[in-house]
Amino acid sequence: MSRAFLQMSRAFLVPQFSIFKPFTKRLIVNMSATASKNVGIRVGSLVVEPPAHPTYDLKTVIRLALSEDAGDRGDVTCKATIPIEAEVEAHFLAKEDGIVAGIALAEMVFDEVDPTLKVEWHRKDGDSVHKGLQFGKVQGKAHSIVVAERVVLNFMQRMSGVATLTKAMSDAAHPACVLETRKTAPGLRLVDKWAVLIGGGQNHRMGLFDMVMIKDNHISIAGGITNALKSVDLYLEKNNLQMGVEVETRTLEEVNQVLHYASTTKTSLTRIMLDNMVVPLSNGDIDVSMLKEAVELIDGRFETEASGNVTLETINKIGQSGVTYISSGALTHSVKALDISLKIDTKLALEVGKRTKRA
């Protein structure tokens, strides 16, 4: 790796803002369940705790988002058009119906840009909003608000989109619980999974470190599902580790192999994934008979997780099959952002919105 590349990487990872406080004066706190109250989130706005992660630094993610916007000059348009002493009030406006998420994170962004900004909300994370609703406002220096605007909205729109789809899927899946996957935007793992929690879903594993998940490639390399399970049990025992263990099964034969192994060997297995056992039909319906048979075979001895062919249209039928969980990559990898804006002239924004049918 060249010295020039390393220098460039260091410069990117430790961005410098001429318009923000120097980093040396601000505390960096790794995000975790126990540290979340210390990362700049106001207690009143923190409705849903962010998921725990041993190394993820949410403040650094915010700073990188601000850095890619500010570059090496800051907001040149703002500097050219807005007097430095100007103060304004800007309102959050929902342009479509959905579940709002990212309010607590938005407050962190505003605080990072300018701690003197005053933010007030009429909704909280997880609440419903409707098209045309003004659900919050921020007051203070115009420069600071305009600089923070796009980063705040990028986080909120994505998180609200994830939360909106999660809420719809969770309601339809009952009594099964909905999980996301690791198919998240690079660098936004915790943010995406936080939005799932806000939307009423549950989190799957955070990453490769907090759960053993034996998938098809592991099984193929290990020489079969039984060999893979044996290897995992030996590894956990040797390293004195206790964590959830899930194995992916693709056929009823593999389900029976897992059950046979578990009946003859002490195992750390906790969950069996039933992958692609939901069969799409030509008429648009789905066949869940194979999934139901697998659930009956397992008979409550382990948690079960359905995966594959999960959509808003199919999830209700899958949820009635008896599975414990339903996982869907679409919650985060194909999310449609919820349309939200931050406007100073809300009267004009609403007029334009009505003309374009977006407010």
Report, as residue numbers or ranges, the catalytic residues.
Answer: 150, 183, 215, 248, 275
Q: In angstroms, rounded to a whole number, what is the distance separating the alpha carbons of residues 28 and 309?
A: 41
Q: Which helix (H) or strand (E) holds 264?
A: helix 252-264
Q: Indicate the burial class of 74 (C-beta count within 10 angstroms; 0-12, 13-18, 19 or more).
A: middle
Q: In angstroms, rounded to a whole number, what is the distance separating the alpha carbons of residues 258 and 242?
A: 20
Q: In angstroms, rounded to a whole number, what is the distance separating the alpha carbons of residues 42 and 38?
A: 9
Question: How many residues appear in the chain?
Answer: 359
Q: Are strands 245-249 and 212-214 parallel, antiparallel or unpaired?
A: parallel
Q: In angstroms, rounded to a whole number, what is the distance separating the alpha carbons of residues 181 and 208?
A: 11
Q: Quote the distance between the C-alpha of residue 271 and its chain's center.
A: 22
Interior CA angle at 267 toward 266 and 269, to 5°? 155
Interior CA angle at 154 toward 179 and 196, to 5°? 15
**145 backbone dihedrals φ, ψ, rounded to 5°:** -65, -45
Answer left, alpha or beta for residue 71, where phi above 0 means left and psi between -120 and 50 means alpha.
Answer: left
Q: In angstroms, rounded to a whole number, what is the distance separating the alpha carbons of residues 159 and 129?
A: 14
Q: Judge whether 309 and 326 are in contact, CB under 8 Å.
A: no
